[in-house]
Amino acid sequence: MILDPWFYVAASVAVLIAGIAKGGLGGGIAVVGVPLMAMVVSPAQAAAVLLPILMVMDALALRAYWGKWDRGNLRVLLPAALIGTALGFLTFGYLSDDGLRALVAVVALTYAVRYFARRGPTARRVPSTASGLVWGALSGFTSFSVHAGGPPLQAYLLPQRMHRTTFQATSVVFFFVVNWSKVVPYAWLGQWTPDNLLTSLVLLPLAPLGIWIGRRIHLRVNDELFFRVVHASLVVIGVKLLYDVAPL
């Protein structure tokens, strides 16, 4: 079990942010979890500790948003995401964490800048199967190693300008499937060590608290404010990830 007190300071903040994001803010900002914890432990161990907690959060959020998701989007996104997850498993150890972080950062910042630079309201974009397959696979791929699948998913869903609850519920179902699909691959790669699992168990009580706070926030904001917060979170994510990979 990890005993460093600074790890639990960073991990507690990371788990609460992830819970709030999954409970009501689109889930994307949950990507800061691994970078925060990786300030004290390795990114691989941070991802292994965080995954069981994310799985519990996904289950709690799924109950809160049951039946409110967009089935059409999920029919395209989920098969692609599972392919992306499989590719992440097959290439584990060959691709650097920094390379994945840089890729996610570029996606996050591109879509955030496009949103804030627009003049006047933008028309709702009809989703295409081809773009859904690409973004779904990319989300599953980047999610496998560093739990950073949020920005690619948002890059696909946000232009559709769906109701915030539909957006949230669709994100919840997507990551419920993706995160639970990692169980066997993580076991195969030796990530489910007793130390990691015990550390996850210690942090687990923060999961329902974060979901509850996120749900309360979600019910009290309008669509425009919700999407402004989500896009602002993409800026924070992108800058943080680029900072993590920048040479000193």
Task: Read off the pLDDT of residues 218-234 as tens digits, 9 standing for 90 and up.
Answer: 777 766 776 677 677 76
In this prediction, residue 82 carries a pLDDT of 95
Tens-digit pLDDT profile for residues 112-136: 787 777 655 555 666 788 888 999 9
Instruction: Give dist(CA 70, CA 156) in Å, integer.
Output: 13
Joined together, the tokens standing for residue 160 give: 């559709």
Biggest alpha carbon–alpha carbon distance for the chain: 53
Q: What is the DSSP letter of 119?
A: -
Do 151 and 104 form a contact (C-beta atoms < 8 A)? yes
- As given in the structure block, the two tokens for residue 149 are 């699948």
- For 135-149, how does the pLDDT look when each residue is reduced to its tens digit (9 = 90+)? 999 989 888 877 777
Neighbours of 139 (CB within 10 A): 29
**How many Å apart are CA 232 and CA 166, to the nearest integer?**
19
Burial of 157 (0-12, 13-18, 19+ CB in 10 A): buried
Tell me the one-letter amino acid at 182.
K
